[in-house]
Amino acid sequence: MKKRIKWFLETWWTVILRPIYFYTKLKEESWQEKALTFFILNSWVLGTAATLVVFIVHYIPMGGTLVEGVSGYKFILILPVLTTLAFVFFLITLLILVGMLASAFFVLFYGLAYLLHYVFIFLGGRGSLNRMLQSMFYSSAIMAFGLFIFLMMVFSGYGLLDFPLFRTGLGFVYFMALLYGYGLWAVAGRKAYGVPKWKAFLGAALPVIFLLIFGVLFDKIALPKLQPWIS
């Protein structure tokens, strides 16, 4: 377990801070091996953070209403029950959120890999879909940007950050994640398909444009409906 955590942290650090070095040294292997493991670990980190937010923002206030007026030895008597319930709800929420996030991001990165594969082939590159899938799942390191969003949700849930500011912060974090992803996908495309730098950045721009459009639509349509759950 310690070796895997150490490998994950070292890999994440290299992907984020030294992407050119990482994708240059990356040896092709089945995307279902280390690359998928790296993606799954990112999903667990993000899912755990999301569960903590739900627990802090929603479960703790709900639990507070259940023990309102209970004090002294009565509280001590029900404490084991409360602890057990809290653990069970935390575990159930964790499994649900990790499953949902892993499924959603798997579809996203898998779909982006197919899109970029054919884009770079169209631009004259030569490479394998397996290498692109491998590269894309390593680029899941950008999922860590979501931790900032969850932190802002905690601040918003406790009234330390109003919703308009949260909305602005969400947009900024989303844009920065896409900007970083753009760089990673361009480097991955150049190394995997042997295209010139300008073609690598041109090809990687297509999924970024789609994701920017999605972000605008989400901000205008879905985000206002989620406000009661956030603040």
pLDDT of residue 227: 82
pLDDT of residue 45: 96
pLDDT of residue 63: 67
Question: Rounded to 5 degrees, what angle do the CA atoms 127, 131, 137 make?
Answer: 145
DSSP 161: S
pLDDT of residue 57: 85
pLDDT of residue 70: 63
Q: How far is CA 224 from the centre of its chain?
A: 21
pLDDT of residue 214: 94
pLDDT of residue 92: 93
pLDDT of residue 62: 76
State if pTM tops 0.75.
Answer: yes
Regions in the chain scoring below 50 on pLDDT? none
d(CA 208, CA 35) in angstroms, rounded, equals 21
CB 105 within 8 A of CB 140: yes
pLDDT of residue 74: 67
- The predicted-structure confidence for 40-49, as pLDDT tens digits, reads as follows 999 999 999 9
Question: Cβ of 34: how many Cβ atoms within 10 Å?
Answer: 18
pLDDT of residue 228: 81
